[in-house]
């Protein structure tokens, strides 16, 4: 899965994917398109909405790799509140 630094790079990658699908005779809409977030990336609702508008089917967010489970759960709770509301 390619990593991208910003929305523009993600959208450009999808254009390339669409072109490759057209050339291969493959249905672009049958391909799942995921934006994989690096630490701290895609944490604002506007960013996730922009990814969806660009063609993302899902967004995978980076979580802490170390520490007790309560640290990870707290991070998940904060992300959910930020993106979906309390």
* Tens-level pLDDT at each residue, the chain (86 residues): 667 889 999 999 999 999 999 999 999 999 999 999 888 898 889 999 999 999 999 999 888 777 788 888 888 898 889 888 77
Residue 36 domain flag: yes
Residue 21 domain flag: yes
Structural domain including 26 reads 7-84
Note the pTM of the prediction, 2 decimals.
Answer: 0.80
Residue 46 domain flag: yes
Residue 14 domain flag: yes
Q: Reduced to 3 states, what is the DSSP secondary structure of residue 61? A: coil
Angle at which helices 45-54 and 7-24 cross, to 10°: 20
- Closest by alpha carbon to 47, among 39, 12, 37? 37
Total domains in the fold of the chain: 1
Residue 50 domain flag: yes
Work out the number of other CB atoms within 10 angstroms of the CB of residue 51: 22
Residue 1 domain flag: no
């Amino acid at each position: 899965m390619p990593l991208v630094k910003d929305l523009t790079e993600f959208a450009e990658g999808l254009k390339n994917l669409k072109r490759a699908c057209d050339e291969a005779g493959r249905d672009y809409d049958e391909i799942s398109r995921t934006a994989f977030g690096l630490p701290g990336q895609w944490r604002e609702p506007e960013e996730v909405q922009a990814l969806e508008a660009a063609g993302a089917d899902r967004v995978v967010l980076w979580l802490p790799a170390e520490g007790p489970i309560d640290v990870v759960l707290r991070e998940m709770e904060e992300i959910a509140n930020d993106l979906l509301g309390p």
